[in-house]
Amino acid sequence: MLRPEAPETLDECRQAIDRVDAALATLLERRATLAGVVQRLKPVGGFAGRDMERERALVAAMARRAPQLGEERLAPVMNAVIEAGLSLAEDRARRP
């Protein structure tokens, strides 16, 4: 995880955001790769195999870690993350 920062200038703040974005990109790719493994292991994979109860529980757990964002703001973010991972898994499954 990234260390907390207290930027004091616009440039410092933007640099801190860039560091968070870089870490987030790495984590999102890692998550998508793991989700691809899940898709191969599930009896019904892809978008048809989504477990909405699990997704709701995931968002609730994340909201406990990020209470300022809360479930309402995190739900669309996680939906986009999940859909990107599923799309990647489907693309990889179609490759020879």
pLDDT tens-digit map of 40-93: 888 887 778 899 999 999 999 999 999 999 999 999 999 999 999 999 999 988
pTM of the model: 0.85
* pLDDT exceeds 80 at position 94: yes
For residue 22, give both structure tokens: 């870089």
Question: What pLDDT, on the 0 to 100 scale, is given for residue 1?
Answer: 65
| Chain segment 28-50, per-residue pLDDT in tens | 999 999 998 998 888 887 778 89
Dihedral (Cα; 85, 86, 87, 88), 10-degree rounding:
50
SS3 40: helix
Give ∠ CA 85-37-25 in degrees, rounded to 5: 40
